[in-house]
């Protein structure tokens, strides 16, 4: 039976009743199979599981989709029940930011927060890291699961945990994809049929990159052939978001817009021919 709480005192009471290692899955709701994978991983590695559901206004820039972001707490709770989550914390904004957003003390993301998503969405990682830090303090988990789909977010959270000594294990979870390869995202629900067809160029580009010794060029070629996509970036980096190696394992990251919907994806690739 999943317990739903909305307030800090109720969370603290429920948290003190949890036993063993506690695993946290932070979410913004609209739970899909990608979130289920995070929950299942948390259940594998922890004894008790907590899911948070909060559409964090701090990580949405002006003109982004805060107002239209899907909200479906009843359905989210049903998913958590099915996955046998112990506790769901779904606060309203005033519960999480009681002093208001104005003048708020925030977590400053380091230089990694200024590139890629951080360059396209100024303030995004300050918003993400601030809410994640607060959820870590409130839930006090031993570990937390984050999807590899948001690869930079995963790297930034890892770095924050290390830099600010949170002492929480960060567990990565592989991206879950539709049968046609599109990475699951709550934002996929915004896509029209035509936009969704255009969005498929992203997983196609990833597959081409994984099959090529020149992954960046291979991905760019596929993306350039899809007029329905506007590319924000296609980059190669090292596994920790640093400079890509001259050869060997690297990570390909893609951000693109189909209509007004922004999609991101990434995958491991290899630069150069595999060793004989």
> What x/- string results for residues 48 through 77 when contact with ligand PAF is judged by CB under 6 A?
--------x--x------------------
Number of residues that bind ligand PAF (CB under 6 A): 10
Per CB under 6 A, the segment of 125-133, 204-212, 213-221, 250-258 that binds ligand PAF is 125-133
Taking the complex as a whole, the smallest distance from the CB of residue 59 to ligand PAF amounts, in Å, to 6
CB of 25 to ligand PAF, least distance (A): 9
Give yes or no for residue 131 binding ligand PAF (CB under 6 A): yes
State yes or no: residue 253 binds ligand PAF (CB under 6 A): no
Candidates 23-31, 204-212, 218-226, 248-256; binding stretch for ligand PAF (CB under 6 A): 23-31
175 binds ligand PAF (CB under 6 A): no
Interacting residue with ligand PAF among 23, 26, 91, 215 (CB under 6 A):
26
Determine whether 102 is an active site residue.
no
Q: Is 128 in the site for ligand PAF (CB under 6 A)?
A: yes
Reading the block at residue 85, the tokens are: 């989550």
Closest CA to 22 of 109, 162, 136: 136
Round to whole Å and give the CA distance between 262 and 12.
36
User: Is the CB of 5 or the CB of 154 nearer to ligand PAF?
Assistant: 154
Q: Mapped to the 3 state alphabet, what secondary structure does the chain carry?
A: CCEEECCHHHHHHHHHCCCCCEEEEEECCCCCHHHHHHHHHHHHHCCEEEEEECCCHHHCCCCCCCCCCCCCHHHHHHHHHHCCCCEEECCCHHHHCCCCCCCCCCCCCCHHHCCCHHHHCCCHHHHHHHHHHHHHHHHCCCEEEEECCCHHHHHHHHHHHHHCCCCCEEEEECCCECCCCCECCHHHHHCCHHHHHHHCHHHHHHHHHHCCCCHHHHHHHHHHCCCCEEEEEEEEECCCCCCCCCCEEEEEEEEEEECCEEEEEEEEEEECCCCC
Question: What is the smallest separation between the CB atom of 53 and ligand PAF, expressed in angstroms?
Answer: 9
Please say whether the beta carbons of 46 and 19 come within 8 A.
no
* For ligand PAF, the closer CB: 59 or 261: 59
By CB under 6 A, residue 28 contacts ligand PAF: yes
Please pick, from the candidates 27, 126, 130, 152, the single residue that binds ligand PAF as defined by CB under 6 A. 27
Quick one: tokens of 242? 């640093």
Q: Which of 6, 35, 137, 204 is labelled catalytic?
A: 35
Q: In 3D, which of 184, 146, 186 has the Cα closest to residue 265? A: 184
Tokens coding 161? 């945990």
> Is the CB of 88 or the CB of 250 nearer to ligand PAF?
88
User: Is residue 150 part of the contact set for ligand PAF (CB under 6 A)?
Assistant: yes
Name which of 132 and 255 has its Cβ closer to ligand PAF: 132
- Contacting ligand PAF (CB under 6 A), which of 22, 79, 85, 132? 132
Residue among 114 and 243 whose Cβ is closer to ligand PAF = 114
Which amino acids are annotated catalytic? 35
List interacting residues with ligand PAF (CB under 6 A).
Answer: 26-28, 56, 59, 128, 131-132, 150, 153
């Amino acid at each position: 039976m999943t317990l739903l709480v909305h307030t800090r005192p109720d969370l603290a009471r429920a948290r003190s009743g949890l036993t063993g290692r506690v695993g946290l899955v932070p979410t913004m709701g609209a739970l899909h199979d990608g979130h289920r994978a995070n929950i299942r991983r948390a259940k594998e590695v922890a004894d008790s599981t907590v899911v948070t559901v909060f559409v964090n206004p701090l990580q949405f820039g002006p003109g982004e989709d805060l107002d239209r972001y899907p909200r479906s707490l009843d359905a989210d709770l049903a998913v958590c029940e099915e996955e046998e989550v112990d506790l769901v914390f779904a606060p309203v904004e005033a519960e999480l930011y009681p002093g208001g957003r104005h003048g708020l003390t925030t977590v400053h993301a380091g230089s990694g927060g200024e590139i890629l998503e951080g360059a396209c969405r100024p303030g995004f990682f300050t918003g993400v890291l601030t809410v994640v830090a607060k959820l870590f303090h409130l839930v006090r988990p031993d570990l937390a699961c984050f999807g590899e789909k948001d690869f930079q977010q995963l790297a930034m959270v890892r770095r924050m945990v290390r830099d600010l000594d949170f002492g929480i294990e960060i567990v990565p979870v592989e991206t879950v994809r539709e049968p046609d390869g599109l990475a699951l995202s709550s934002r996929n629900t915004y896509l029209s049929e035509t936009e969704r067809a255009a969005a498929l160029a992203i997983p196609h580009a990833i597959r081409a990159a994984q099959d090529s010794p020149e992954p960046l060029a291979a991905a760019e070629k596929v993306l350039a052939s899809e007029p329905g996509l506007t590319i924000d970036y296609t980059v190669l980096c090292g596994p920790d978001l640093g400079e890509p190696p001259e050869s060997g394992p690297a990570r390909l990251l893609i951000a693109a817009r189909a209509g007004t919907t922004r999609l991101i994806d990434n995958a491991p690739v290899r630069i150069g021919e595999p060793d004989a």
